[in-house]
Structure formats: structure tokens, C-alpha cells
Amino acid sequence: METLSGDNEPSRAAQLAAIVAFANTLRAASRIYGGSPPEQARGAIKIALHGVVTLISDLYPNEPAFPRPLNDLLYHLHDLDHGTVAAILKPTKVSNRPSMALSKELFRAIVAAAMTSLMNGGKKKKEAARDVARRLTKMGGKSESGEIIQGGQIEKWREKMMTERPAENKGVARYQEALKMLGGMEPKEAIDLMLSSLTDLSPANFPKKPPFSGTSSSLFASQL
């Protein structure tokens, strides 16, 4: 396809140029993104969002409404840096205790899946939990509070993943998905893929480690 339909649609060369520019923008955003400080994380997200908005505008110049929702989000993130919280970014009031942050649930899900993979390979429960904990410590992994992750914590995370329903907990769904996806691999290979993906998927848990630049993170890309 050399051009898109329509009188003012971009040529194929223009489309490719827009995609290259988009990739460069995402590359720049990923280099500065981290879980903290929040201002830095928002700055990287704003750069990435701007890239998406620009790409949409370049590919669909006759559809000005297409990027509007993302533009609004971009403006709201800008307002956050100046002390104003837009209504759509305010937490929903719930009658019970607020749920755990999704990023925490997904991190714990992959860690628990790594423990289960070791057990499937023949290790006892406590030994598998300690093994994963040692691996995380070696990688520079920390808990959400900045402390070293212990085997006992991982055992509890795994227990939760095995007792709750995936339809009600996205972490449980991710746990089951990881095991299914890598179930045919040797335990060591599966665990290496799972844990190496965490530096990209959960950068806040690896404050001193740059994101892993391989392909494993795409295996567990966010699916909300």
C-alpha cells in the first residue's frame, strides 16, 4: 500500500518517517523513565504520549478527534506537575479497603510464577522461595518499601495467586498466563525470562538497575 485512501492522506514515505520519529521519541522516553521520582516518571510518560499523539496526527491528518483523549491525558499530567488534579485522575471512592496498586500485583505475580516454575522442576516450596529471593537480591530487586525481598514474602504472594480468581485479580491472571506461556521450557530458562522481564515491567522495584533491553519483557506486556 503506497498511500492511505483520501485526498490529503500521507504518502508511504511520510508514514515511514512518522514511525521512525515515533520510535526515536519512545527511545528517549524509555531512557529517562523510572518509578521515582514521580516528576521524572511523568516527564517520560508525557514524552511518550506526545509521540503517540504526533504519530496519530501524522497518520490520520483528517481525523483530528482521534488523538483527543490522549491529548487530554497529556494536559492532565502537565497539570499534576503544577498542583492541579483533574477529575479523571482522582481515585474512585470505594466502600471497602482500596485494592493494591496494579503494578505491585503484577510484579508479585511474576515472582510467584518463578517460584512455581522452580517447584515444578523439583524444588521444595521453601527452597524455591529462597532461590527466587536470592536471584532478586542479586538483580538489585527491592520491595515497594525499599527492603530486600524475603523467601517468606514470596511464599505468601504465591499462596494468594493460587487462592484468588483471575477474573477478580489481574495479578492472578498474569500469574497463570506466565506459567502457561513458559510451561514448556526448562525451569531455569523460564525463570530467567520471568525475572529479567521485571526490570522493564516494574522499574520501581529495581532502583539501581537499568531496564533489561532484551525481548523477554514483551512476553508479559500489560493487557488491561
Task: Give tens-digit pLDDT for 139-190.
Answer: 988 888 889 999 999 999 999 999 999 988 999 999 999 999 888 888 888 8
Among the listed residues 70, 111, 112, 66, the one whose alpha carbon sits nearest the alpha carbon of residue 88: 70
CB 96 within 8 A of CB 102: no
DSSP 153-182: HHHHHHHHHHHS-TTT-HHHHHHHHHHHHH
Check whether 32 has a pLDDT greater than 90.
no
Domain boundaries, the chain: 12-89, 102-220
Is 150 in contact with 133 (CB distance < 8 Å)?
yes
Global model pTM greater than 0.85: no
The C-alpha cell at 14 is 511520510
Return d(Cα 116, Cα 119) in angstroms, integer: 5
pLDDT of residue 16: 94
